[in-house]
Chains A and B, each alone.
Chain A
Amino acid sequence: MWTESALRIVWVYPDLLSTYGDRGNLLVLAHRAGQRGLPVQTVEVRSHQPVPTQGDIYLLAGGEDAPQARAARRLAADGGLRRAVDRGAVVFAVCAGYQILGRSFVAQGRECAGLDLLDVSSDRGASRAVGELAGEVDPTLGLPMLSGFENHGGRTHLGAQARPLARVVVGVGNDGETEGAWSGRLLGTYAHGPALARNPDLADLLLEWATGQRLAPLDDVWSSRLRAERLAAVGVAEVEIPGPRRPEQVSAWRSSSTTPRTRPAAGRRRWRAVRRSPA
């Protein structure tokens, strides 16, 4: 089933968790890896199939209440995703999938157990959060502004073991203050659907986590135009902060080496949001 040298991207339960163009994240990751000459293998695992444990990146997407609760039960019973995470696999989870990674979430009016892989828990907000979402990403990750579209009724509370992915500038995210969460190589967000299309640097971060390789920049002219247009539409611009760049630790390709490699001092760039009046 697996090609040993390929980067293995697993989309978990597209039959249950797939709304709003969620396939986009799989397509974007495969496309960006392919452009770097990395061989890629994508696998879509339906909910009656076992989740393979040997994947490099796992994707969990959005879904309605009943399929969300079903997906959480199946994943807990299956155990494959947990074993993959124990191996050091990367997980990128969106909306309902993000909630499933946490300790608990609410679906169909009931509290449901999550997978307890990420130290968050979710409940219901007073109103549905729908619209553009923008946030300043945790500087540790060295990413430009998060830009996305959110559509969720849940609110998510972070425990001590999870860090917010971003500080909300526009929109609601977890609770109006923070958006998403990350811990180790698990990253969750309310930027739904094809979040990685608008955030190619985030896509590359996931690829770098999975491969341990520093990736060459790509010609991102269309996503740059899209990001600038979307951020301008909500009255936000971003500026790069000058100054020294931070070194970062990246573990080696598929954890085959036990010695983490330190990134060259060039590190990632740093960014800051600037409020502007809406265009």
Chain B
Amino acid sequence: MVLVSATNGKTTTTRLTAAALGVLGPVASNTFGANMPAGHVSALAQAGPTPYAVLEVDEHYLPHVTAATKPRVIALLNLSRDQLDRAKEVALLAALWRETLREQRVHVVANADDPMVVWAASVVEDVCWVAAGQRWLDDSWVCPECGGGIRREGSPGGAVWECVTCGLRRPEPHWRLDGDTVVAPDGARHRIELRLPGRVNRANAAIALAVAAHFGVRPTDAVPRLAQIRSVAGRYTLVERDGRAIRLLLAKNPAGWLEAFEMADPTTTLLSINARAPDGFDTSWLYDVDFSPLRDRPVLITGERAFDLGVRLGVNGVPFTHVPSFADGVAATRGRRLEVIANYTAFQQIRAELDRVD
């Protein structure tokens, strides 16, 4: 049993990890993002008896699911602000993870580049550190251990971090990413050719390889299986509609938006924002996202909270056109390609309009 938890990337990493472990035999998994206990029970029941299971776990449910499943491996990717009117604040969540892991006999695969994750995981003796990167830094300037300041230097983007007061610091990673190559602890270099876009997905692949390696899977056997994944729960894949090739990207929080802009092609882009319970009722996070990368392309906006987005883009100096619906956005697309970036329930609505693409 493997558990995968994070603020961002847990669905994709679960999918990649299940694919990598598939080298050994059948794997049960909640690959469609139902990441609370009901989803786990349903996924495990549907799969029947399998030698392996990989479960994506909502970050708040990690204590509960860890106690219930006694996993052999827990993979922890990142923690950042997400739906803060209902979610626990980042430092509290890191403390919750830390308490969960204390005195657990479990192998942890964790992101060495996120101070919150490192602090939570460092109570476990057996940790495999992966330099999985952290593009969003604004939730980890304060040390979770002592409240001191975190200093960052080196590249990319201040990857080497250290608390100036208590000495909590980035552990030496066992696995790292070098361009499109994953470097294993033995120094072997594995070129990964994903169909999923973005550096963050190559980092997710590195985590998946590290988890699978703990079960004895050789990266050379797992890499080809990772390359077969075209889409994850409706994300990433190109869908044809009315003569346009449309790609859906999900972005639920500031860190996720930064990753989405890195993945998106510079073409007509439709942004859709809702603020229902699963999204969080508060749209303040829009001001934590710098939308200026979109200034070079036509931008369309829609969704139940499009006006919040309109005000934000105005302040950001990003010209846009408001369209009443996704269908109107497709109709308003002049070229052949349309990138869609949406938050959770807006994404699900658009996915349903595209006949539940998966």
Contact B147 A222 (CB under 8 A): no
Cα–Cα distance between A46 and B315 once the two chains are bound (Å)? 24
Tell me the minimal C-beta distance from A191 to chain B in angstroms: 10
Cα–Cα distance between A225 and B149 once the two chains are bound (Å)? 41
Which residues of A sit under 8 angstroms from B281, Cβ to Cβ? 130-132, 149
Pick the contact of B287: A22, A46, A222, A223 (CB < 8 A). A22
Which residues of B sit under 8 angstroms from A149, Cβ to Cβ? 85, 281-284
Q: Does B265 contact A (CB under 8 A)?
A: no
Q: Does B138 contact A (CB under 8 A)?
A: yes
Q: Does B314 contact A (CB under 8 A)?
A: yes
Q: Residue-by-residue, is B257-281 near A (CB-CB < 8 Å gives 1, otherwise 0)?
A: 0000000000000000000000001
A 1-55 contacts with B by CB, 8 A = 15-16, 18-24, 27-28, 31, 46-48
Contact B85 A70 (CB under 8 A): no
Tell me the minimal C-beta distance from B330 to chain A in angstroms: 23
Pick the contact of B147: A46, A70, A193, A229 (CB < 8 A). A70
Which residues of A sit under 8 angstroms from B142, Cβ to Cβ? 15-16, 66-67
Contact A21 B287 (CB under 8 A): yes
A21-B286, A28-B315, A225-B310 are contacts. A64–B149 as well, Cβ < 8 Å?
A: no
Q: Does A194 contact B (CB under 8 A)?
A: yes
Tell me the minimal C-beta distance from B139 to chain A in angstroms: 9
Tell me the minimal C-beta distance from A54 to chain B in angstroms: 25
Q: Does B311 contact A (CB under 8 A)?
A: yes
Q: Does A192 contact B (CB under 8 A)?
A: yes
Pick the contact of A151: B282, B287, B310, B311 (CB < 8 A). B282
A31-B315, A47-B149 are contacts. A197–B287 as well, Cβ < 8 Å?
A: yes
Which residues of A sit under 8 angstroms from B317, Cβ to Cβ? 31
Q: Does B2 contact A (CB under 8 A)?
A: no
Among B307, B310, B311: residue with most chain A CB under 10 A = B311
Cα–Cα distance between A235 and B282 once the two chains are bound (Å)? 18
Which residues of A sit under 8 angstroms from B316, Cβ to Cβ? 27
Contact A24 B287 (CB under 8 A): yes
Closest to B139 in A: A19
Which residues of B sit under 8 angstroms from A132, Cβ to Cβ? 281
Q: Does A205 contact B (CB under 8 A)?
A: no
Q: Does B32 contact A (CB under 8 A)?
A: no
The A interface is mostly helix, strand or loop, or mixed, namely mixed
Cα–Cα distance between A18 and B282 once the two chains are bound (Å)? 15
Cα–Cα distance between A162 and B184 once the two chains are bound (Å)? 62
Which residues of B sit under 8 angstroms from A130, Cβ to Cβ? 85-86, 281
A64-B91, A149-B281, A193-B287 are contacts. A24–B315 as well, Cβ < 8 Å?
A: yes
Which residues of B sit under 8 angstroms from A21, Cβ to Cβ? 284-288
Contact A23 B84 (CB under 8 A): no
Which residues of A sit under 8 angstroms from B147, Cβ to Cβ? 66-67, 70
Contact B315 A197 (CB under 8 A): yes
Q: Does A226 contact B (CB under 8 A)?
A: yes
Q: Residue-by-residue, is A213-255 near B (CB-CB < 8 Å gives 1, otherwise 0)?
A: 0000000001101100100000000000000000000000000
Tell me the minimal C-beta distance from A129 to chain B in angstroms: 11
Closest to B313 in A: A222
B 153-206 contacts with A by CB, 8 A = none
Closest to A194 in B: B287
Contact A23 B288 (CB under 8 A): yes
Q: Does B308 contact A (CB under 8 A)?
A: yes
Pick the contact of B310: A66, A70, A194, A222 (CB < 8 A). A222
Q: Residue-by-residue, is A46-84 near B (CB-CB < 8 Å gives 1, otherwise 0)?
A: 111000000000000000101100100000000000000
Q: Does B235 contact A (CB under 8 A)?
A: no
Which residues of A sit under 8 angstroms from B315, Cβ to Cβ? 24, 27-28, 31, 197
Contact A225 B307 (CB under 8 A): yes
Contact B89 A64 (CB under 8 A): yes
Which residues of A sit under 8 angstroms from B283, Cβ to Cβ? 149
Contact B285 A20 (CB under 8 A): yes
Tell me the minimal C-beta distance from B150 to chain A in angstroms: 9
Which residues of B sit under 8 angstroms from A24, Cβ to Cβ? 284, 286-287, 312, 315
Q: Does B52 contact A (CB under 8 A)?
A: no
Tell me the minimal C-beta distance from A231 to chain B in angstroms: 12
Cα–Cα distance between A64 and B139 once the two chains are bound (Å)? 11
Cα–Cα distance between A131 and B275 once the two chains are bound (Å)? 12
Tell me the minimal C-beta distance from A146 to chain B in angstroms: 15
Cα–Cα distance between A27 and B89 once the two chains are bound (Å)? 24
Q: Residue-by-residue, is B49-85 near A (CB-CB < 8 Å gives 1, otherwise 0)?
A: 0000000000000000000000000000000010011
Cα–Cα distance between A47 and B288 once the two chains are bound (Å)? 20
Which residues of A sit under 8 angstroms from B89, Cβ to Cβ? 19, 64
Tell me the minimal C-beta distance from B245 to chain A in angstroms: 30
Tell me the minimal C-beta distance from A63 to chain B in angstroms: 9
Cα–Cα distance between A130 and B89 once the two chains are bound (Å)? 14
**Inter-chain pairs besides A19-B89, A66-B147, 17 sampled, C-beta below 8 Å:** A15-B141, A21-B285, A21-B286, A24-B315, A27-B287, A47-B149, A48-B149, A67-B147, A131-B281, A149-B85, A151-B85, A193-B282, A193-B284, A197-B312, A198-B311, A222-B307, A223-B311
Closest 9 CB pairs of A and B: A193-B284, A24-B287, A21-B287, A21-B284, A222-B310, A226-B307, A20-B284, A194-B287, A15-B141
- Pull 27 A–B residue pairs with CB atoms less than 8 Å apart, ordered by A: A15-B141, A19-B81, A19-B84, A20-B81, A20-B282, A20-B285, A21-B285, A24-B284, A24-B315, A31-B314, A31-B315, A64-B91, A66-B91, A66-B147, A67-B142, A67-B147, A131-B281, A149-B282, A151-B85, A151-B282, A192-B284, A193-B282, A194-B286, A194-B287, A197-B312, A222-B307, A225-B307
| B residues at A contact (CB < 8 Å) | 81, 84-86, 89, 91, 138, 141-142, 147, 149, 281-288, 307-308, 310-312, 314-317
